[in-house]
Chain A
């Protein structure tokens, strides 16, 4: 069976080496990621992928956390993005049997440069998508300064892969200075993805760019399970608010809020959760779900979630046609991959 892993992470060597020379956030990521060699060591990555040689298994790669805009000044982020995209493009070119495509990284702290880098990646480097995080150094994605970036992706017919981002500085209680017990990760990341999707909807980005393709990481985060809140709940947007008139928001949208969420794509990386996979498939349908593992961020540092995700999908009863779509056919069309 062919599998295209639509959302998984890798740092090309020249970028990785440069990150290790950075002060602050760069140094932090170096120490955290060193325990996961498959994110920066190509040989180790290939050893992980070899475990799935009984399948025709390839990956669409994107960078791991943190977002480039967190790693330094705009100037540094611009430099890092170039290294990233040159490196990922080279990996795809040299190892097409391993890497079916890649999502370009952008220096979002310099939106003009990000637009230029997106164009360069699409035009010159064969990028199949761009990866954008759920907030840009604390700012929502529907700020006007980011719009040209989404516009560029839509113009090239290429998707935006939406990745969560949050640290412990976002507190869970007003009486506490920071989020405790890594709740910022466990629940905060899915919240981030869900909120970012909603901002693209309510901020009008999806109406202005009706053809924009969004891939919401981790099977649409909170949206499928809370379909009732996103659907009938948000059909009453404004009714829970008295200090601001929100009645114009729904009227200003071309569609019902739920319809925008349903039109997005989502990947099957759910940390091996069968329940989440069933729920997400029910919500999105087989045409909108792409196989993905989030490799190498599993407890085994590489193969764990690939194996578990395949196992979960195999355990779900569905027509063979749907299985092929989820495993690779949707990804081919969505990313514009070269057919095999």
Chain B
């Protein structure tokens, strides 16, 4: 089986990051405590628990764009990609592929790095975050990257990003009790998906593939709000005319949300998986644990309860990943 969304902190990257940014943002305390992120032996021991298990690796949160300057972020991305490529070369059975890291602070440089990572280093896609230092992904400056990924016919991994700086209440300066993480991250993913759909991204690039983390955000259980709810887009707004947005799309808006891929990284909960499957279908649902930040055995156990034929199960656990990453077509 192929775990399509897992995270790793290669040593060369961590060392370089430590040099440029002594203050790393508020999530890194947890990352330091997760040994399997930076200790390969610990990681392999966890992986060995599951026969036939391999991982597609990517960097974890936080986004480089949030923690260092543009030139530093670009350098760090190159270091990370070189290091992940080396890990894949050394351990092809464990890591069949990696997802390139980019810094979109300099979109042109990001484009060059995506090309380098894919064509020179063998990356099978790129990871971007739900906002770029606070900016939405539907801005014109980010569109060349989506075009490039459609051209490469390789996926974009979409990771949520938010910190306590996004307050939950107008009366408070920041988000409390890690609400920004628990509900804020799925919210981020949902908003990013909606912005990409409503900006016509999939009309521009009908074959573009985007893998959303954590079960496609809120979409599967809010298909009623996204579907019939959003169908009357504009009716709740008096200070702006939104009536032209949906007619400008070629297809019914809800269809585009089904174009995304969703992973199964739900922290071991099986409660939502039937909804993920019902919305995205078995061809757009991909096995992922978020390891080592999410549990491997619990996620596998939750997946056992999902109503799938053997063929469908194979697609979710492996086949979809092979197709998306075009692993067979590789040299």
Select the stretch in B12-20, B37-45, B149-157, B237-245 that faces chain A: B237-245
Q: Which residues of A contact B87 (CB under 8 A)?
A: none
User: Cα distance A230–B279 when bound, in Å?
Assistant: 22
9 A-B interface contacts by CB (under 8 A): A225-B215, A232-B268, A240-B27, A243-B164, A271-B222, A271-B224, A275-B278, A279-B272, A279-B274
**Residue from the list A194, A228, A283 in contact with B268, Cβ < 8 A:** A228
Q: How far is the CB of B289 from chain A (nearest CB, A)?
A: 11
Q: Which residues of A contact B226 (CB under 8 A)?
A: 186
User: Cα distance A246–B225 when bound, in Å?
Assistant: 34
Q: Which residues of B contact A251 (CB under 8 A)?
A: none
User: Cα distance A73–B131 when bound, in Å?
Assistant: 38
User: Cα distance A138–B166 when bound, in Å?
Assistant: 14
**Residue from the list B177, B191, B220 in contact with A246, Cβ < 8 A:** B177
A101 at the binding interface (Cβ < 8 Å) = no
Q: How far is the CB of A108 from chain B (nearest CB, A)?
A: 13
B167-203 interface (Cβ within 8 A of A): 168-172, 176-179, 181-187, 190-191, 194-195, 198
A138 engages B170 (CB within 8 Å):
yes
B69 at the binding interface (Cβ < 8 Å) = no
Residue interface bits A250-292, CB-to-B below 8 A is 1, else 0: 0000000000000000000011111110111011000000000
B107-128 interface (Cβ within 8 A of A): none
Q: How far is the CB of A247 from chain B (nearest CB, A)?
A: 12
Q: How far is the CB of B291 from chain A (nearest CB, A)?
A: 14
B131 engages A173 (CB within 8 Å):
yes
Select the stretch in A117-125, A154-162, A174-182, A329-337 that faces chain B: A174-182
- Known contacts A28-B238, A140-B171, A182-B233; A225/B221 CB under 8 A: yes
A281 nearest CB neighbor, chain B only = B271
Residue interface bits A37-77, CB-to-B below 8 A is 1, else 0: 00000000000000000000000000000000000000000
Interface size class of B (residues with CB under 8 A): 35 or more
Q: Which residues of B contact A191 (CB under 8 A)?
A: 183-184, 187
B324 at the binding interface (Cβ < 8 Å) = no
B275 at the binding interface (Cβ < 8 Å) = yes
User: Cα distance A231–B178 when bound, in Å?
Assistant: 13
User: Cα distance A183–B166 when bound, in Å?
Assistant: 16
B218 engages A240 (CB within 8 Å):
no
A229 at the binding interface (Cβ < 8 Å) = yes
A85 at the binding interface (Cβ < 8 Å) = no
User: Cα distance A282–B238 when bound, in Å?
Assistant: 39
Q: How far is the CB of B233 from chain A (nearest CB, A)?
A: 6
B236 at the binding interface (Cβ < 8 Å) = yes
B247-281 interface (Cβ within 8 A of A): 266-269, 271-272, 274-275, 278-279
User: Cα distance A256–B149 when bound, in Å?
Assistant: 43
Q: Which residues of B contact A135 (CB under 8 A)?
A: 169-170
Q: Which residues of B contact A198 (CB under 8 A)?
A: 177, 179, 182-183
B297 at the binding interface (Cβ < 8 Å) = no
Q: Which residues of B contact A188 (CB under 8 A)?
A: 187
A243 engages B224 (CB within 8 Å):
no
B327 at the binding interface (Cβ < 8 Å) = no
Q: Which residues of B contact A140 (CB under 8 A)?
A: 168-169, 171-172
User: Cα distance A108–B307 when bound, in Å?
Assistant: 46
B182 engages A234 (CB within 8 Å):
yes
Q: Which residues of B contact A226 (CB under 8 A)?
A: 182-183, 186, 214, 266, 269, 272
B61 nearest CB neighbor, chain A only = A240
Q: Which residues of A contact B183 (CB under 8 A)?
A: 191, 194-195, 198, 222, 226, 229
B225 engages A190 (CB within 8 Å):
yes
User: Cα distance A190–B224 when bound, in Å?
Assistant: 12
B178 engages A234 (CB within 8 Å):
yes
B26 at the binding interface (Cβ < 8 Å) = yes
Residue interface bits B23-37, CB-to-A below 8 A is 1, else 0: 000111110010000
Q: Which residues of A contact B278 (CB under 8 A)?
A: 274-275
B278 nearest CB neighbor, chain A only = A275
B144 at the binding interface (Cβ < 8 Å) = no
A side interface size, CB within 8 A: 68
User: Cα distance A282–B307 when bound, in Å?
Assistant: 15
A227 engages B269 (CB within 8 Å):
yes
A185 engages B236 (CB within 8 Å):
yes
Q: How far is the CB of A204 from chain B (nearest CB, A)?
A: 11
Q: Which residues of A contact B229 (CB under 8 A)?
A: 185-186, 271
Q: Which residues of B contact A275 (CB under 8 A)?
A: 220-221, 223, 274-275, 278-279
- Known contacts A187-B222, A228-B266, A276-B221; A237/B178 CB under 8 A: yes
A169 nearest CB neighbor, chain B only = B170
A128-184 interface (Cβ within 8 A of B): 135, 137-140, 168-170, 172-176, 180-183
User: Cα distance A173–B132 when bound, in Å?
Assistant: 10
A239 engages B194 (CB within 8 Å):
no
A273 engages B224 (CB within 8 Å):
yes
B92 at the binding interface (Cβ < 8 Å) = no
A12 at the binding interface (Cβ < 8 Å) = no
B226 nearest CB neighbor, chain A only = A186
B90 at the binding interface (Cβ < 8 Å) = no
B272 engages A271 (CB within 8 Å):
no
Q: Which residues of B contact A186 (CB under 8 A)?
A: 190, 194, 222, 225-226, 229-230
A249 at the binding interface (Cβ < 8 Å) = yes
Q: Which residues of B contact A180 (CB under 8 A)?
A: 195
- Known contacts A187-B191, A239-B30, A243-B26; A271/B182 CB under 8 A: no
Q: How far is the CB of A311 from chain B (nearest CB, A)?
A: 13
A227 engages B190 (CB within 8 Å):
no
A202 engages B177 (CB within 8 Å):
yes
